């Protein structure tokens, strides 16, 4: 079993071992337990009961049977001398150390649904090579699906810092803040690693609550390491800052980026501040990753139990597994389902494995909100990441809001897909200035540790959506007599208000997260009892659509039907048509092209260039044509490349530039990889440039770049009516 965090790199960690005293309560008529079975060394197992009992104390300090069906299980564990590690009551489980023979015997007991191994979940391979290409996480955008930056990296001054993440503009969060909606009164639980709650940007700004009070109001450890142990921390900082960073501090990117790149930025510095998408929310930080980055499933279910028991209204899960079947982590899925049934919205990252049917559990659970990632390239321009400043191509502009090449999408085993997308392809987030304690916070760019990181992946998309869920819950409660919307309604609001970015449905779900539209929709739903809040009028408008996706899995020619409900919450009539589309009309294809990459001799290719880390890379440019399309006829560019993996230290990276030099796409294989694919919505007609680059041999100690034949193909497809 393998589980990983949903960002461009690492995975998970935790072993919870709370010794519990076994307490056996005789019950009239209960059968005596069978004699303990022998054989095999003890293993930690999760005993899942059938739910017909209200279970036991969930804190692990004592375990007491509460019904006749559970009594034999506890009696058998006691007779065998087993150690109970933990219990949960959201789903009735007992995690205990038992021999294989005992586990087999327990599985035959009445009331026991299953006995599952509490498998150790190891650190997955890094998503980007290291050390010269370390773990990079991911960004954000500005209004409209297509957004272009300036001709130089955008920067603020120290007195007027630029607002980051760029995502705040892309998902229309500033307008929601102007309406007085900031997630206040909502607790969001983050299941990740450790964090420093005393971070200055996690102390409440007066605009979002009581000045100086902590944003992280609860911090609990489920890893066994404790909250003061060394931790990777990067995922938690990414999650928490995406949700509720306060924008208190000014950060100078000129100090953070590689010194060789700092000259590209203004002499006075490149100043930013970081604000979360729900800065009024409280955060519950639940550490499940041990310092070794290994974890157990029992740790996850304990964290979910704690979140529900202690007032979380939203749970963010930026982790997952790509096992087969995709229900492998079924106890985690059961806990998520139980949390949703208890009124808690669960948001899960879809994964960082590319778009071709790669959604991992628990994002395949239809009761959760599954989130993929879109691009925002402003930070690429500021750090010169992804070949942004190649000397042969590029005009300093960029286009946002395409599906990120790393975002998991497609269909899962049940025939469903993800629910929506949010920014996740490189963005500035908080981190620590103490990388010895929080190891992910080390400045891999060669600059100074100033308390930020450049991070992302669907691990960022999920907390941005969790923040949006907090905003929706607050907005709904303020206008509906204090009542909270159900998790199903929160999901419908977020998907109904999402912006179509002309991507295939199995890559974008309902579209790009739009917090302002979601807040307006939440406030204007039926049952509204308040006409204004915070001095601002409630702005009606929007269609609530249910269900959020329709999926038919049947043999060809089989009639299928699905009822769709539309609720118009605005004051005016809206005309609605049903239309379908599919990418069925290929209008251009470059055919498979081949060239040779030779990092040992840069003169073989087009040249060499320094990248974000200061390392010299060899590059090659290749061109292809995109035809003109009729206005209003959306189309899609599909670019793919492959090469041999020979154990090289530097993999091949590819960036795409529009005919005018605008930076439009970037792809780097996740893990080891030898195949790359990226897509661009409504590509500009004309001659495009693909930039291939890899480390020049010897540029770093032992550095070896990708060499040999590189194959690539560029196809342009046009949508046509489907069905």
* 673: enclosing H helix or E strand: none
| 32, burial (CB in 10 Å: exposed 0-12, middle 13-18, buried 19+) | exposed
Answering whether pTM is above 0.95, one says no
Predicted local confidence at residue 119, as pLDDT: 65
Q: Taking Cα atoms as reference points, which of 500, 484, 455 lies closest to residue 232?
A: 455
Least confident of 211-220, 545-554, 617-626, 666-675: 666-675
Is residue 173 helix, strand or coil?
A: helix
What would the mean pLDDT of 153-177 be, rounded to a whole number?
Answer: 92
CATH architecture of 583-720: Sandwich (2.60)
The mean pLDDT value of the chain amounts to: 85
Q: Rounded to 5 degrees, what are φ and ψ at 720? A: -140, 155
On whether the CB atoms of residues 112 and 49 are closer than 8 A, the answer is yes
CA distance linking residue 513 with residue 422, whole number of Å? 5
First to last CA, the chain: 40
Q: State phi, psi for 203 to the nearest 5 degrees.
A: -105, 135
Q: Reduced to 3 states, what is the DSSP secondary structure of residue 544?
A: strand
As a whole number of angstroms, the distance between CA 398 and CA 380 comes to 9
Confidence of residue 510 (pLDDT cuts 50, 70, 90): very high
> Which residue ranges make up each domain of the chain?
3-121, 583-720
Q: Which two tokens stand for residue 147?
A: 């957004």
pLDDT over 80 at 574, yes or no: yes
What is the per-residue pLDDT for 632?
73
What was the pLDDT predicted at 527?
Answer: 85
Give the integer Cα–Cα distance in Å for 548 and 545.
6
**H/E/C letters for each residue in 301-329?**
HHHHHHHHHCCCCEEEECEEECCCCCCCC
Which token pair is 14? Answer: 């935790």
Confidence band, pLDDT 50/70/90 cuts, at residue 12: very low
CA torsion through residues 209, 211, 215, 221, sign: negative
Residue 329 pLDDT more than 80?
no
Six-digit token string for 329: 């982590």
Across the range 558-574, mean pLDDT stands at: 90
Token representation of residue 579 = 């239309």
- The token pair that represents 220 in the structure block: 């609990």
pLDDT digits 0-9 by tens, 597-615: 999 998 899 999 999 998 9
Lowest mean pLDDT among 311-315, 328-332, 569-573: 328-332
> Using an 8 Å Cβ cutoff, are 461 and 421 in contact?
yes
Whole-number pLDDT of residue 186: 98
229 Cβ neighbours under 8 A, 6+ residues apart: 194, 223, 291
DSSP per position, 352-414: SS-SSS---BTTT-TTSEEEEEEE-BHHHHHHT-TTTT-SSS--S-BB--SBPTT---S--TT
Write b or e for each residue in 509-546: b if 16 or more Cβ atoms lie within 10 A of its Cβ, otherwise e.
Answer: bbbbbbbbbbbbbbbbbeebeeeebeeeebbbbbebbe
Q: What is the pLDDT of residues 647-702, one digit of tens each?
A: 898 899 999 999 999 999 999 776 667 899 999 999 999 999 999 999 999 999 88
Report the percent of the chain where pLDDT is more than 70: 84
Is residue 620 scored above 90 in pLDDT? yes
C-alpha span between 233 and 85 (Å, rounded): 26
Q: Is 158 exposed, middle or buried (0-12, 13-18, 19+ CB in 10 A)?
A: exposed
The residues pairing with 316 across neighbouring beta strands, listed in sequence order, are 190, 347
Tokens read off for 26: 């005789």
Least Cα distance to 430 among 455, 453, 463 occurs for 453
Nearest alpha carbon to residue 174 among 164, 187, 184: 164
Asked whether the beta carbons of 646 and 708 are under 8 A apart, the reply is: yes
DSSP 126-169: PSS-SSSS------B--SSSS-B--SS---B-SSSPEEE-THHH
CA distance 132 to 130: 5
Strand partners, 607: 619
Closest by CA to 621, choosing from 390, 406, 447, 432, is 390
Distance between CA atoms of 232 and 246, rounded to whole angstroms?
Answer: 22
Residue 260 has what pLDDT? 87
Residue 237 DSSP label: H
> Among the listed ranges 3-7, 62-66, 234-238, 463-467, which one has the minimum average pLDDT value?
62-66
pLDDT of 109 reads 85
Is the pLDDT confidence value at 411 over 50?
yes
Peptide bond into 325 cis (omega under 30): yes
- What's the rounded Cα separation, in Å, for the pair 83 and 87? 12
pLDDT at residue number 357: 87
3-class DSSP assignment, residue 483 = coil
pLDDT band at 118 (very low <50, low <70, confident <90, very high): confident
Mean pLDDT along residues 500-513: 96
Long-range Cβ contact pairs of 561-565 (< 8 A, separation 24 or more): none
What span, in angstroms and rounded, lies between the C-alpha atoms of 527 and 68?
Answer: 44
pLDDT given for residue 722 in this prediction:
84
Report the C-alpha gap between 504 and 510 in whole angstroms. Answer: 10
Lowest mean pLDDT among 134-143, 157-166, 216-225: 134-143
pLDDT at 1: 34
Does residue 445 register a pLDDT over 60?
yes
626/332: higher pLDDT: 626
Q: Using alpha carbons, select from 631, 591, 619, 607 the residue that is nearest to residue 711.
A: 591
């Amino acid at each position: 079993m393998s589980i990983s965090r949903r960002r461009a790199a690492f995975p998970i960690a935790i072993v919870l071992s709370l010794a519990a005293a076994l307490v056996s309560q005789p019950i009239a008529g209960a059968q005596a337990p069978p004699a303990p079975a022998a054989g095999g060394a003890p293993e930690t197992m999760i005993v899942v009961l059938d739910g017909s009992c209200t279970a036991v104390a969930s804190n692990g300090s004592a375990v007491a049977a509460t019904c006749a069906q559970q009594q034999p299980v506890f009696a058998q564990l006691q007779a065998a001398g087993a150690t109970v590690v933990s219990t949960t009551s959201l789903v009735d489980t007992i995690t205990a150390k038992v021999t294989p023979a005992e586990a087999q015997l327990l599985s035959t007991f009445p009331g026991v649904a299953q006995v599952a191994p509490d498998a150790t979940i190891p650190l997955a391979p890094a998503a980007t090579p290291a050390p010269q290409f370390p773990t990079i996480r991911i960004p954000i955008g500005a209004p409209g699906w297509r957004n272009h930056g300036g001709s130089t990296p955008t920067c603020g001054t120290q007195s007027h810092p630029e607002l980051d993440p760029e995502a705040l503009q892309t998902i229309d969060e500033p307008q929601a803040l102007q309406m007085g909606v900031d997630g206040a009164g909502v607790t969001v639980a983050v299941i990740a690693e450790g964090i420093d709650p005393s971070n200055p940007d996690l102390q409440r700004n007066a605009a979002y609550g009581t000045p100086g009070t902590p944003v992280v109001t609860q911090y609990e450890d489920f890893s066994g390491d404790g909250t003061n142990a060394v931790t990777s921390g990067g995922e938690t900082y990414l999650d928490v800052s995406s949700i509720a960073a306060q924008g208190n501090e000014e950060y100078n990117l000129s100090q953070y980026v590689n010194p060789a790149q700092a000259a590209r930025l203004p002499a006075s510095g490149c100043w930013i501040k970081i604000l979360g998408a729900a800065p009024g929310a409280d955060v519950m930080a639940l550490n499940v990753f041990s310092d070794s980055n290994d974890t157990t499933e029992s740790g996850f279910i304990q964290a979910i139990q704690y979140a529900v028991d202690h007032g979380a209204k939203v749970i963010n899960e930026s982790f997952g597994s790509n096992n087969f079947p995709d229900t492998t982590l079924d106890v985690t899925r059961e806990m998520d389902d139980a949390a949703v049934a208890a009124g808690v919205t669960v948001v899960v990252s879809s994964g960082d494995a590319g778009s071709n049917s790669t959604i991992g559990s628990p994002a395949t659970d239809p009761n959760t909100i599954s989130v993929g990632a879109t691009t925002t390239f402003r930070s690429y321009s500021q750090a010169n990441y992804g070949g942004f400043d190649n000397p042969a191509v590029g005009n300093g502009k960029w286009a946002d809001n395409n599906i990120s090449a790393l975002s998991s999408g497609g269909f899962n085993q049940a025939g469903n897909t993800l629910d929506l997308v949010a920014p996740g392809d490189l963005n500035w987030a908080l981190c620590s200035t103490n990388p010895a304690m929080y190891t992910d916070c080390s400045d891999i760019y060669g600059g100074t540790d100033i308390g930020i990181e450049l991070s992302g992946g669907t691990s960022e998309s999920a907390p941005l959506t969790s923040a949006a869920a907090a905003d929706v819950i607050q907005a709904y409660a303020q206008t509906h007599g204090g009542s909270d919307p159900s998790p199903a309604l929160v999901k419908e609001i977020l998907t109904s208000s999402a912006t179509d970015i002309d991507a295939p449905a199995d890559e974008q779900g309902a579209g790009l997260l739009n917090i302002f539209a979601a807040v307006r929709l939440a406030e204007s739903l039926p049952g509204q009892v308040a006409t204004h809040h915070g001095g601002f009028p409630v702005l009606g408008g929007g269609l609530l659509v249910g269900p959020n996706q329709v999926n038919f899995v049947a043999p060809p020619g089989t009639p299928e039907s699905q009822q769709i409900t539309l609720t118009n919450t605005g004051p005016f009539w809206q005309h609605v048509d049903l239309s379908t589309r599919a990418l069925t009309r290929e209008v251009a294809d470059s055919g498979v092209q081949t060239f040779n990459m030779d990092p040992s001799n840069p003169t073989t290719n087009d040249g060499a260039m320094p990248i974000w880390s200061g390392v010299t890379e060899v590059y090659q440019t290749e061109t292809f044509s995109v035809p003109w399309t009729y206005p209003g006829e959306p189309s899609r560019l599909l670019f793919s490349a492959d090469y041999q993996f020979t154990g090289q230290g530097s993999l091949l990276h590819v960036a795409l530039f529009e005919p005018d030099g605008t930076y439009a796409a970037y792809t780097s294989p996740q893990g080891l990889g030898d195949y790359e694919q990226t897509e661009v919505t409504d590509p500009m007609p004309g001659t495009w440039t693909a930039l291939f680059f890899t480390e020049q041999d010897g540029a770093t100690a032992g550095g070896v770049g990708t060499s040999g034949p590189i194959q690539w193909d560029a196809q342009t497809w046009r949508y046509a009516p489907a069905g």
